[in-house]
Amino acid sequence: MSHVEAVVTAATKLMLAGHWTAATDLLTATRSDDPAEQQALALARAAVAVDHDFGQQSDHATAALAAVPEDSWDLDMLKLRKDYADALFHSGDGDLRDRMLTLVKDAPDDVRRAAASFWAGAIADNVYEQPTEAIEHYTRALELGDELTKAQALRHLGHHSHAAGDLALAREQWERSTELLQKNGHLRPALAQQAHLAILLRDEGDADGSAALATEVHRWARQLGIGFIIEQTKDLMVRRTPQEPPR
């Protein structure tokens, strides 16, 4: 493994743990004269910025994406994720449907096709309100993906099981998702997943367990500054609220 590859790997782990500033600082401090390594560093900085913005609804990604030297499938995927976040939190659109389907079709390998399928599912679910299409994308992501993609697919499939009233299947999917997210150190969606387990406990009749879990997730979310989880768990701690799709 080269020095740059090691730095990108370390920065990715920092990003997954919610240490976005530290990850960016590490990548920014790393220099290379090799164009391929410069591209890798720039893409990694953009990935951190996109993840940061999704967690804290900030805007680090615009500049980071513009700084990537060369076009690529990976850059287009990051741009789609940024525009999805804008649509989700700020009521944008950005013609996401054609772009998401193109990224699925043109993915260079199964791992990236699975990742694109997951985001296509999230877009179909939360932007275009097409649950049947979303489930098809999530299922493909679950079949082809690495552990983090499988975790995200299970999390969203669990929402649909929960909405259909199948609490047993929702618990199975959400618990497995939580295990995979924890195993791989992806803190933000792990917290979002545990917030949904708190909803499930509430719906199963365990009000005390639901409030206790929501309280712990709320504390974590406050430390990371993840507003939508803070608000969701605040409500879970004090009263019953309508279910919301996972983000």
For residue 90, being part of any structural domain is answered with no
Which of 70, 100, 122 is the last residue before a domain boundary? 70
Domain of residue 58, residue span? 1-70
Residue 155 lies in a domain: no
Where does a domain end: 18, 41, 70?
A: 70
The residue among 70, 90, 106 that closes a domain is 70
Domain-located, residue 64: yes
List the chain pLDDT tens, one digit each, 247 residues.
Answer: 899 999 999 999 999 999 999 999 999 999 999 999 999 999 999 999 999 999 999 999 999 999 999 999 999 999 999 999 999 988 766 689 999 999 999 999 999 999 999 999 999 999 999 999 999 999 999 999 999 999 999 999 999 999 999 999 999 999 999 999 999 999 999 999 999 999 999 999 999 999 999 999 999 999 999 999 999 999 899 754 445 556 6
Dist. CA 108–CA 155, nearest whole Å? 25
CATH of the domain at 26: 1.25.40
Total tally of structural domains belonging to the chain = 2
Closest CA to 243 of 175, 187, 159: 159
